[in-house]
A and B are shown apart, each in its own frame.
Chain A
Amino acid sequence: MEQSSIPGAQSTATEKVIAFLDDRVGLKQMQAKMLNEPVPGGSRWAYVFGSVLLFLFLMQALTGILLMFYYVPTADHAYASTQYIIHEVDYGWFLLGYHFWGSSAMAVCVIAHMSQVFLWGAYKKPRELLWIVGLALFGIVIGFGFTGYLLPWDQRAYWATTVGVEILDKTPVLGDFMARFLKGGPTPGQMTLSRFFVIHVMILPAALMGLAGLHLFLFRVAGPAGPFRGTSDEIKAKTDYFFPRQIWKDIVGMAAVFATICALAFWEPVVLLEEATPDPGDYHPEPEWYFLFYFQLLRLKIFSGEFGQLLGAVALPVAFMVLLVALPFIDKDPERNIFKRPIALVSWIVVMVTMLLFTVAAVINREFLD
């Protein structure tokens, strides 16, 4: 056995246990390494989003596991079991509401996190892979939203899935296969619910954990990008380690997000519509709010007809993602200051304003439908 760090005669039982573990695992060095990461230019509130996303995911995992204690993923019980969680189980409404609003919070924080990396020019060399893995994580978060939306098996769920899968169906050559594969048949039913459930609770969490681990690893290899302004002396003078100041800001960020989600779960509880069925009745199908802009976009004249659909349902989202993936290889200028990258700044504003306008348009359109 190792000769090092033999506990002294006076050490307490706790110290002995810690020393025992440290000898075998190297805990102290690991902890030190996790906490002692230089943050160029010092800690900032702007840097909290990555940690907040990790926190959000852990909370989604926790609330999701708890929901599974009562939820049954079958076409004849999914709706009833979800109603049971909301109306009968103590604090079921809260955990479900938290999970529901947590997913929205995740969408918001992902957009904030990505925007920030984009505006800070932090995707540039040597952080290209970090950016690309981040994009994959973005895709996973969207996948979580899409698959989770079906699980309550109400009308909202059914129609969002119907339309969402039809969009996938528009992929050339493979579309029909992919759509049937995902649905487990020609139309949404039990097989769809089973598949979405497995994807939502097993495949995506595993993928997310793996990729988030890779993301963090790559982040640590490359190191934080730091501010885009200031001389190296100024940055050096303000440099901090991750612990304690950044961790303190992160935890405050997490608490703020936690409080917001709790408040939403409390004041805007989840209310299910009628049970899912292929007859929409009076319901006007609509996706989750963060997909509304895209929903509204597909209403545009330019996306009409078969070719227009290919354009809107496949070409547009694929081109957008490809552009994001290629970004660090297209934009090789080492300049990171956003105020000296007019194309980047204007593009970001255009994308954000478009999303905002189309979301607002979708909301306004609701009134004219009845």
Chain B
Amino acid sequence: MQPKLKSRVRCADREIGEVTKVVVDPLSHEISHIVVSMNGSGERQVAMGHVQSVTESLVELRVPSSEILVLPPFKRDDYVTTHEVEISHLEEKIHVTPGEVLVPYPELEKNVKRRTFFMNFTNVITFLIGLPLAYPIMRYLMKPMYAPFDNAWLKVGNIGKIKEDDIGVQFEYKKKVKEVYMPEYEIEKNVWVVKATSALLDKVYQGKDLEFRDATGTALWTNKKEIPFVAFSGKCPHLGCGFKWRKHKVLGRVFLCPCHLSIFDASGKVLDGPAPRPLDVLPVRVSVGGDLEIIEMEFKAGTKSQVRII
């Protein structure tokens, strides 16, 4: 039993006063001391170790009153109240308040069923407010996610730039972009073009013409297997970085992606690194004047098969 406020305090020889405060240990949440008002001669702090027994209205100490009287006076300034300190669950452990204090529900709300009804009603209305919002918000946010493909031919440079066969040559070009409400602006992009010898062409096309179709399945263009110019999308099929043409110590001249070190040969085949598929070949045509044109396509990175996204 815990000592109660206002309990009388009796020493081995006589009664000495009453409990005015209790002191709680902040870590164990146990009552560590009682503060005893000494019938007018100040307050003393008495350790629980001195307490022999506690009953409803009496705290009995096992020491004589003389021992309590010589204790130093209680210093209130060394303490804070339980309202001024952050100790959770304290009220569950310490029962110093005599009895419970209750406040009644309003007369109308005494019925538990009724209150449950109102609670459910509130939840339903909240849900009904949220429900018609969800779909419009999703549609609102999804607006720009899917765009139709642009299958126009784009001039990226002149084949006069290619001096050597079976070598990756970067064609950087500018593309005008009109994104929703934004004014039209230019972005820089690039494709890699290889002027392939017939052996390399064989590796790229494996003896078959390469046909490109649009989203509806209509034929767009066919890369003839004997046309020596092969254009690769500048986007690495691993995670979408831009790859480069580099000299590799062991593998010779290769396409190397600096991000995760995927390596491809001049035909786009994966030689090393994490890329899941070869470089993406684009539709390409060369005009009489040597202008190289492509249909710009981008494919999802990281998949074994090509999934066109642009």
Question: Of B185, B187, B274, B301, which is within 8 A of A299 by CB?
Answer: B274
CB within 8 Å of B: which A215-243 residues:
220-223, 232, 235-236, 239, 241
Question: Of A167, A184, A232, A300, which is within 8 A of B27 by CB?
Answer: A232
| Chain A residues with CB under 8 A of B240 | 162-163, 166
| Chain A residues with CB under 8 A of B242 | 159, 278-281, 285
CB within 8 Å of B: which A155-214 residues:
159, 162-163, 166-167, 169-170, 176-177, 180-181, 183-187, 189-191
CB within 8 Å of A: which B40-96 residues:
80, 83-88
Nearest Cβ in chain B — how far from A234, in angstroms? 11
Question: Of B187, B241, B260, which is within 8 A of A277 by CB?
Answer: B187
What CA separation (Å) do A59 and B258 show in the bound complex? 35
Query: Which of the segments B5-13, B111-119, B174-182 contacts the partner chain?
Result: B174-182
A115 within 8 A of B: no
Most buried by B among A40, A223, A308: A223
A90 within 8 A of B: no
What CA separation (Å) do A177 and B304 show in the bound complex? 19
**Per DSSP, are chain B's interface residues mostly helix, strand or loop, or mixed?**
loop
A/B pair count, beta carbons within 8 Å: 158
Question: Of B179, B188, B274, which is within 8 A of A190 by CB?
Answer: B179
Please list 26 pairs of residues, one from A and one from B, whose beta carbons are closer than 8 Å in the complex, sorted by A's number.
Answer: A36-B86, A37-B86, A75-B182, A76-B182, A159-B241, A162-B239, A166-B301, A166-B302, A176-B300, A181-B141, A183-B145, A185-B147, A187-B310, A190-B179, A236-B27, A277-B189, A278-B188, A279-B242, A280-B241, A281-B172, A281-B188, A285-B259, A286-B259, A306-B302, A309-B274, A369-B256
CB within 8 Å of B: which A289-309 residues:
295, 298-301, 303-306, 308-309
A34 within 8 A of B: yes
Contacting pair A180 B146 (CB below 8 A): yes
What CA separation (Å) do A191 and B177 show in the bound complex? 13
Residue of B nearest to A309 (CB): B302
Give the size range of B's interface with the partner: 35 or more
Contacting pair B259 A295 (CB below 8 A): yes
Contacting pair A189 B177 (CB below 8 A): yes
Residue of B nearest to A280 (CB): B242
A12 within 8 A of B: no
Contacting pair A185 B145 (CB below 8 A): yes
CB within 8 Å of B: which A125-181 residues:
159, 162-163, 166-167, 169-170, 176-177, 180-181
B109 within 8 A of A: no
Most buried by B among A74, A284, A285, A301: A285
B261 within 8 A of A: yes
Nearest Cβ in chain B — how far from A44, in angstroms? 16
A11 within 8 A of B: no
B26 within 8 A of A: yes
What CA separation (Å) do A142 and B137 show in the bound complex? 26
| Chain A residues with CB under 8 A of B254 | none
Residue of A nearest to B84 (CB): A32
| Chain B residues with CB under 8 A of A347 | none
B2 within 8 A of A: no
CB within 8 Å of A: which B202-248 residues:
234-235, 238-242
B289 within 8 A of A: no
B124 within 8 A of A: no
Excluding A187-B298, A280-B241, 10 further A-B contacts by CB distance (< 8 Å) are A185-B147, A186-B146, A186-B309, A232-B28, A278-B234, A280-B242, A285-B242, A285-B259, A299-B261, A306-B304
Most buried by A among B144, B183, B189, B190: B144
B275 within 8 A of A: yes
Complex interface bits, A113-124 against B, C-beta within 8 A gives 1, otherwise 0? 000000000000
| Chain A residues with CB under 8 A of B101 | none
A5 within 8 A of B: no
| Chain B residues with CB under 8 A of A29 | 83-84
What CA separation (Å) do A197 and B141 show in the bound complex? 14
B273 within 8 A of A: yes
Nearest Cβ in chain B — how far from A319, in angstroms? 19
Residue of A nearest to B181 (CB): A190
Contacting pair B187 A33 (CB below 8 A): no
| Chain A residues with CB under 8 A of B177 | 189
Complex interface bits, A31-67 against B, C-beta within 8 A gives 1, otherwise 0? 0111011101000000000000000000000000000
Residue of A nearest to B234 (CB): A279
Contacting pair B185 A184 (CB below 8 A): no
Nearest Cβ in chain B — how far from A54, in angstroms? 17
A265 within 8 A of B: no
Contacting pair A75 B86 (CB below 8 A): no
Question: Of B85, B188, B235, B258, which is within 8 A of A37 by CB?
Answer: B85
CB within 8 Å of A: which B260-310 residues:
260-261, 273-276, 298, 300-304, 309-310
Contacting pair B182 A38 (CB below 8 A): no
A261 within 8 A of B: no
What CA separation (Å) do A97 and B87 show in the bound complex? 41
Contacting pair B86 A220 (CB below 8 A): yes
B199 within 8 A of A: no
What CA separation (Å) do A166 and B257 show in the bound complex? 15
A313 within 8 A of B: yes
B142 within 8 A of A: yes
What CA separation (Å) do A225 and B246 show in the bound complex? 56
| Chain B residues with CB under 8 A of A32 | 80, 83-85
Contacting pair A279 B188 (CB below 8 A): yes
B107 within 8 A of A: no
Contacting pair B179 A169 (CB below 8 A): no
What CA separation (Å) do A36 and B80 show in the bound complex? 8
| Chain B residues with CB under 8 A of A170 | 302
What CA separation (Å) do A111 and B87 show in the bound complex? 28
Nearest Cβ in chain B — how far from A39, in angstroms? 9
Contacting pair A163 B145 (CB below 8 A): no
Nearest Cβ in chain B — how far from A200, in angstroms? 16
Known: A285-B259, A369-B258. A306 touches B276 (CB 8 A): yes
